[in-house]
Structure 1
């Protein structure tokens, strides 16, 4: 397993051509791309201005003018996907910016829950990926490949048969996407590694290996979640170190995980892994909504707190950049679109209201004005005046 080179710079463009079995393209050189905002964001800004809430209106405007990902989720006419992707990468190229493309169309995504959908089967998914690849072409792009695809396998949610047919198909689907997209000259791919409050290092590393992480730049963390920067950075270091250890023939079960004592974990890494970022997989982190860290609900009040689902009183996190100060962390990104709902959260109750908010949350992906105001008011670091 040939691993990856370091990253430098302050924001955004992939560079370089991959050698066989290697992706050494780094997201550095120009700014990250800012796509057009959700139309409902502009409606909210106008309503705030009419209400005389100019400070909030300005804050929401600053939020939507911040670089963030463009999601392609397979909803609508899939025959148009090539043109939709091409339009984004060409617009980004004209602006000398790197687009972040989040591909979210794997069959059985989200265990058929709030963000259910995706391609009908493997063949349809492969055809969709082919069209995405044709849309990107030779242009530069950073690809966030299939959120929850590895951290939430069909076998994790009781959807698979005894032979593991759907889980095997999931690995084949992600693997096909990896092979197809990494063959493009300007595309950098990162794979799903969940986040620090979910899988242990020992659990996620074998999944990354099975999916072909050695052919990519590395992995991404915290997509659409709310963990703290510090624990994500530590988790990323441990996952990266364990991947390097496994590449040398080690057993991932032996690696330290995020619940080890930090000094013991570091001693293990120092003894078993060469501390050279040029030889390790890198990662990117979704900082879009983790400014206040994770929500800690009262578990006696909520039978299933769903702390990932529209938690109250969260804030925008670090602004997108490739100047992270961490040699393994290529970028802070806004992967999840701030302001778009996580789903109609019930927290183990009969509903229909979200008991943490006293209202019915918008369906997944729809604009959530109440949450928007929380995010901008509680941003950390604060939105600049």
Structure 2
């Protein structure tokens, strides 16, 4: 698949001149069909997060901090002479957290100095395990921060903390502090809590290559570092009977009590006709295909990534009619998953950290139906670090919040981001495997979505390896970071 970054394309937030040239206005293109769609009810866990009553309770001030309500917000005066962020904490106790449950922490903050402080949701006693641990940079401008995460704790002794030591003397200002359970339509901890871990695909391209090449000196390393790790299986027009293919994969995972990750990759005009071009032959064929895909899921636990590149590549479609058609197909996919796959967490692909501006991406995701499903996916088949992807995801959520009044959890593809991005997207050298699939880690989930060792196309350090074909040389380079 292709993840373009700097192609000089016109952003999909259409300028007036482009509207005049192309027809319908951007508002017509971007307006989602949301009739009958209701955001999941959120449960607020923070007490007195807006300080409207003029009181600080139940917020506490720890060593080296003093708090008071000033002009409708909390002012936290921090003394100097501390070495570590936790030497000057403040926060709120008795936060109930459920293992596997998704949450969103949101707050508005500023400071009287340019400082970096730490925001956590954590266990309130040793070992202070923190499902959310974020450093934020503040100055005199009040900004809203939004951090989705999934708890790996089951406790009634959680805390929300702001740890502000080690930065000298200054004042921190807080307002609209909120910790909510995230929407998405799945009760409790969803499919993560229903299973005992992520599924390792025994028939992934790396696993098949290892079985067929046991005498190759590279086989044991590829088995240990890639083929034995949980990752996604991609489904498209090569999958044959899609209901049977999906059902077989999800059923195999369910038999061993593991959580499968699937990628639906069959949108018409896929990959702008480039290395991974193809897809369903018509809108009608796609609707039938994605409906059959969802039938294969049934009520079994699963994670689904919806159509990598399809939202970000709206720009390459030739006219507004085709862009509107694609958005309608993506909305249809989200509606099918929402209505017919009750134990699936679905994530609509949202590009990567250096492709589409966060505000534009938020508009596109809203138009494509992200409010119908669990959230969005970032960095699929790309190389940006988890930190870069998390920063971008937080910015997208800030735009979703300010424009539409909600935020969504997101996941990050870490399959090849161990060395970060070097400016190339197609089989670049010097990349490395990232952390394996897990809950939390900055996003709701970190996942191996791209299969490490599968080629991006006839390009880069694999000029003769077609897209989706496994290369042991690519795999070893990712293991070694060469």
TM-score, length of structure 2 as denominator length:
0.60
Partners of 1:241 and 1:202 lie apart in 2 by 8
| Partner in structure 1 of residue 426 of structure 2 | 309
SS in 2 for 1:284: strand
Partners of 2:184 and 2:206 lie apart in 1 by 43
Partners of 2:358 and 2:300 lie apart in 1 by 34
SS in 2 for 1:101: strand
Partners of 1:100 and 1:112 lie apart in 2 by 25
For residues 1-385 of structure 1, what are the structure 2 equivalents within 5 Å?
Answer: 2=39, 5-6=102-103, 7-9=150-152, 22-23=185-186, 26-29=190-193, 30-39=196-205, 41-43=207-209, 47=213, 50=215, 53=217, 56-62=218-224, 63-75=226-238, 77=240, 80-153=241-314, 156-157=315-316, 159-161=317-319, 164-183=320-339, 184-248=341-405, 280-296=407-423, 307-324=424-441, 326=442, 329-345=443-459, 354=460, 357=461, 360-378=463-481
Greater RCO between the two (CA within 8 Å, min separation 6)? 1
Partners of 1:290 and 1:20 lie apart in 2 by 28
Partners of 1:168 and 1:364 lie apart in 2 by 28
Q: Deviations over 1:294-313 (max 9, x none)?
A: 124xxxxxxxxxx1100012
Partners of 1:20 and 1:225 lie apart in 2 by 27
Any unmatched runs of 5+ in structure 2? 1-37, 43-101, 104-149, 154-180
Q: 1:294 to 1:39 in 2, by over 3 A?
A: closer
Determine if contact 2:182/2:408 at 8 Å carries over to the other structure. no
Q: Deviations over 1:267-326 (max 9, x none)?
A: xxxxxxxxxxxx631000000001011124xxxxxxxxxx110001211001100142x3
Q: 1:89 to 1:38 in 2, by over 3 A?
A: closer
Partners of 1:189 and 1:244 lie apart in 2 by 20
Q: Report the structure, 1 or 2, having the larger strand content.
A: 2
SS in 2 for 1:102: strand
Q: 1:71 to 1:46 in 2, by over 3 A?
A: closer
Q: How far apart are residue 244 of structure 1 and its match? A: 1.3
* Alignment: residue pair count: 307
Q: How far apart are residue 59 of structure 1 and its match? A: 2.4
Please tell me whether Structure 1 or Structure 2 has the larger radius of gyration of its CA atoms: 2
Q: How far apart are residue 246 of structure 1 and its match? A: 1.2
Q: How far apart are residue 44 of structure 1 and its match? A: 5.1
Q: Report the structure, 1 or 2, having the larger helix content.
A: 1
SS in 2 for 1:28: helix
SS in 2 for 1:318: coil
Q: How far apart are residue 42 of structure 1 and its match? A: 4.4
Any unmatched runs of 5+ in structure 1? 11-17, 249-278, 297-306, 346-353, 380-385
